[in-house]
Amino acid sequence: MEYKSYMCVVCGWIYEEEDGLPDEGIAAGTRWEDIPDTFVCPECGAGKADFEMIEI
């Protein structure tokens, strides 16, 4: 299954499912839908709703 990327529309920070976010306790390979709704962008603090899937 292909991994996807999600970009914060506020600041442009990108979450890569393949890489996860180990510093925040999110393991590599964690799907976006499996991330808690309380997630905030580590760069600007925007909420999960402010992210959009992008094609790279």
Pairwise CA distance, residues 44 & 33, whole Å? 20
Give the Cα separation of 4 and 29 in Å (integer). Answer: 10
Looking at the predicted structure, is the pLDDT value of residue 56 above 70? no
- The tens digit of pLDDT for each residue in 26-49 reads 999 999 999 999 999 999 999 999
Where is 53: in which H helix or E strand?
Answer: strand 51-54
Give the largest Cα separation in the chain, rounded. Answer: 30
Confirm or deny that 37 is annotated as ligand binding: no
Please state the domain extents for the chain.
1-21+37-55
**What's the pTM value of the predicted model, to 2 decimals?**
0.91
User: Mean pLDDT throughout 10-33?
Assistant: 97
Check the annotation: does 32 bind a ligand. Answer: no
**Residue 6 assigned ligand-binding role:** no
Q: For domain 1-21+37-55, give the CATH number.
A: 2.20.28.10
d(C-alpha 41, C-alpha 31), whole Å: 16
